[in-house]
Amino acid sequence: MARGGRLGLALGLLLALALTLRAKPTVRKERVVRPDSELGERPPEDNQSFQYDHEAFLGKEDSKTFDQLSPDESKERLGKIVDRIDSDGDGLVTTEELKVWIKRVQKRYIYDNVAKVWKDYDRDKDERISWEEYKQATYGYYLGNPAEFQDSSDHHTFKKMLPRDERRFKASDLDGDLTATREEFTAFLHPEEFEHMKEIVVLETLEDIDKNGDGFVDQDEYIADMFSHEDNGPEPDWVLSEREQFNDFRDLNKDGKLDKDEIRHWILPQDYDHAQAEARHLVYESDKNKDEMLTKEEILDNWNMFVGSQATNYGEDLTKNHDEL
């Protein structure tokens, strides 16, 4: 079997497993999409250690390795990072520039993931991935050997996922040429992170949960997505609580079912922006002249809040282009 065929078959089996697990979950499932999920609430006890600030500014993994450098080395690298944050090069770091940096740091794993799989799909090595390249890499073996899947559950999985992937690919393809740049392919693989993909996230969620195909999610479908009565016993307390959540907070118009707008309100909440709050906090604590912007000097003077007396392995990141982080 060709490499692409093996990859497609492996992905297909994973898709089948995912759909099987989705059909009969045995534990509570979190559907709410939080793009900055790695950046949670600031713990009240963190006022002195600055651990939250370090993780927000550098990411959790990099913040763990800070003790590898001396204070002078840490400050030197912080200075280089500041130059990258200052996107317009005016020598001042604004709250907005800090927020953009923090959000990109928290999303770095997404771009790392795309980088790891890119070569599996970019078959002609032109730094773009066409729909045909993706389709052949993922579904090529299935499309070339349909008889092998005719009597298996994989047949239904592939038949469902192929048009769904094509729809998502086209939504991510902003210039409509059926060829994805790295940014477009990132939006395809991680649609929850991109504003123009939010409607696809809502639609796919609806299709996953709406088992009777009426275009809505009723309470039983909502609960079935989280919990399966495998032993016909009583529902756990958390399931009863979720039924109350459905009635009181999910079903906004009280018609007993969720439409697309209500699903969007549920899974894409417009709530507290942790990155914005952290950026404001860093500016407030470091802004000596109170002009609501930071110079490099102000940041380095308060370096302990940004990178502490620990070190960073940012050396690797500093060799990358700004757009890659």
The structural domain count of the chain equals 1
238 within domain boundaries: no
112 within domain boundaries: yes
Q: What is the pTM of this model?
A: 0.64
Handedness of CA 33, 35, 37, 38 (dihedral sign): positive
28 within domain boundaries: no
Host domain of residue 170: 67-216+259-319
230 within domain boundaries: no
Instruction: For residues 111 and 198, give the distance between their C-alpha atoms in angstroms, rounded to a whole number.
Output: 19
Would the pLDDT of 51 be above 90?
no
What burial letters (b/e) apply to 81-102, b meaning 16+ CB within 10 Å?
Answer: bbebbbeeeeeebbbebbbebb
pLDDT-derived band at 110, boundaries 50, 70, 90? confident
163 within domain boundaries: yes
Instruction: For residues 157 and 10, give the distance between their C-alpha atoms in angstroms, rounded to a whole number.
Output: 13
Residue 283 burial (CB count, 10 A): 22
133 within domain boundaries: yes
Cβ partners under 8 Å of residue 88, min gap 6: 97
Task: Identify the burial level of 251 via C-beta atoms within 10 angstroms of its C-beta, where 0-12 means exposed, 13-18 middle and 19 or more buried.
Answer: buried
pLDDT-derived band at 111, boundaries 50, 70, 90? confident
Q: What angle do CA 45, 46, 48 make, to 5 degrees?
A: 105
Average of per-residue pLDDT values in the chain: 81
User: pLDDT tens-digit profile of 188-206?
Assistant: 999 988 999 999 999 999 9
308 within domain boundaries: yes
User: pLDDT tens-digit profile of 130-168?
Assistant: 999 999 999 999 899 888 887 777 777 888 899 999 999
Amino acid at site 307: V
User: pLDDT tens-digit profile of 234-269?
Assistant: 888 999 999 999 999 999 999 999 999 999 999 988
154 within domain boundaries: yes
Write out the two tokens for 277: 């709050």
